Amino acid sequence: MPRRRKPVDTTTLDKFGRVLLPKPLRDRVGLRPGDSLHVEVREGSVVLEPVRVKPGIVYRNGWPVLTGYEVEEGFDWKGLIRRDRDARIRKIAGWSGQR
């Protein structure tokens, strides 16, 4: 009979005020590194909720497409255009046999 894991119900606040969310818990709610969390105090408890933001830009068939949702502040538009242009140039150069 497989051994069942104990549910994680406590964690420790480090000296910098950081909290480590154990991997089983992150997996259960779909959190990944870099995800944002909304922090709120409710009835004396600290509540963390994932911020589910729809992306302002998605890639379809290799092309960046605006979705109509808000793009994060400070988005690097010039970098997006430069990377896309460079990728297309490399692809074209590869088709023509040039390197």
pLDDT digits (tens, 9 = 90+) for 15-38: 999 999 988 888 888 888 888 888
Phi, psi dihedral angles at 65 (to 5 degrees): -130, 130
Boundaries of domain holding 17: 1-52
Beta strand pairing call for 45-50 and 37-42: antiparallel
Same domain, 80 and 42: no
Digit-coded pLDDT (tens) for 36-68: 888 999 999 999 988 776 667 777 887 778 777
Same domain, 15 and 38: yes
Same domain, 44 and 62: no
The residue among 75 and 50 whose pLDDT is bigger is 50
Same domain, 38 and 70: no
Number of folded domains that form the chain: 2
The predicted structure's pLDDT at residue 39:
92
The β-bridge partners of 72 are none
